[in-house]
Amino acid sequence: MSDNATHPPVGEEVIVHMENIVKRFGRTTVLDGIDLDVHQGEVVTLIGPSGAGKSTLLRCVNGLERISDGRIEVDGQRLSYSEADINRLRAHIGMVFQQFNLFPHMTVMENIMVAQREVLGRSADEARERGETLLERVGLAHKAKAYPGNLSGGQQQRVAIARALAMDPTVMLFDEPTSALDPELVGEVLDVMRTLADEGMTMMVVTHEMRFARNVADRIVLLADGGIAEQGPPEQVLDSPSSERGRTFLEELLNH
């Protein structure tokens, strides 16, 4: 664990297992033989150059992209792509995208309640109670009746996080959750994510926020050229990368 991370120790149980993951789009191979395990309570950040397949890898874990070869297991269940299997898988996974994807015609509370009711079968009262708890947790209890269009980007992303958490996921996937935000709003979203890490949530995070990666991640995985170029504790990967590809990427990042 990073010296700066304060969340609970990483467990032995493997929550996400990826074995020889290959993903092709036509003749282009984006992921070429990825092996990666994420353990209970672990925060893994995925970094790397544009086009390295970071977001694609997350989308494969969630079943949004179908792998070309390999094996994915989430919470011990192998991903097989039947509709029932995908729905069961996604009941274990919370995903937060670059764009907030909130329903504009629904209030904040309605956005958080809808999937709880339709997917988990919770009553309106149960879903609302869970929503109230989570809005409090992300600092937006006072916005329950607001519509997304009346919120800042940072507030909308915090609602999106609350909506994902409402499904009681085993693992949270974040795909560059701050990249669409104005710089002054980034911190409020990262603070919520840092709190989740402190509470022991298993997380995979694609991010360009190197300070967050350094301070919160247990492990940084550097993707490049279709594979894992480097992985390890933040201080190792960021301060003394062992691969030439890792050194090149970090030099480019620092000189950007």
Residues 174-224 pLDDT 10s: 999 998 888 888 999 999 999 999 999 999 999 988 889 999 999 999 999
Q: In sequence order, what are the residues at sequence separation of 6 or more whose Cβ sits closer than 8 angstroms to the Cβ of residue 30?
A: 23, 24, 51, 53, 56, 226
pLDDT in tens, 112-145: 999 899 888 899 999 999 999 999 999 999 999 9
| Conformation bin of residue 19: beta by default, left when phi > 0, alpha when psi is -120 to 50 | beta
Would you kindly state where each structural domain of the chain is located, as residue ranges? 14-92+169-254
> How far from the centroid of its chain's Cα atoms is residue 39's Cα?
14
User: If one looks up domain 14-92+169-254 in CATH, what number appears?
Assistant: 3.40.50.300
Element housing 43 (H / E): strand 43-47
Look at residue 89 in the predicted model and tell me its pLDDT. 81
Closest by Cα among 119, 99, 121, 101 to 111: 101
Give me the mean pLDDT over the 57-86 stretch: 90
Q: How many other C-beta atoms are found inside a 10 Å radius of the C-beta of residue 8?
A: 14
Q: Which two structure tokens, joined as six digits, stand for 1?
A: 């664990």
- Rounded CA-CA distance 45/42 in Å is 10
pLDDT band at 1 (very low <50, low <70, confident <90, very high): very low
pLDDT over 60 (residue 2) = no
Burial class (CB in 10 A: 0-12, 13-18, 19+), 39: middle
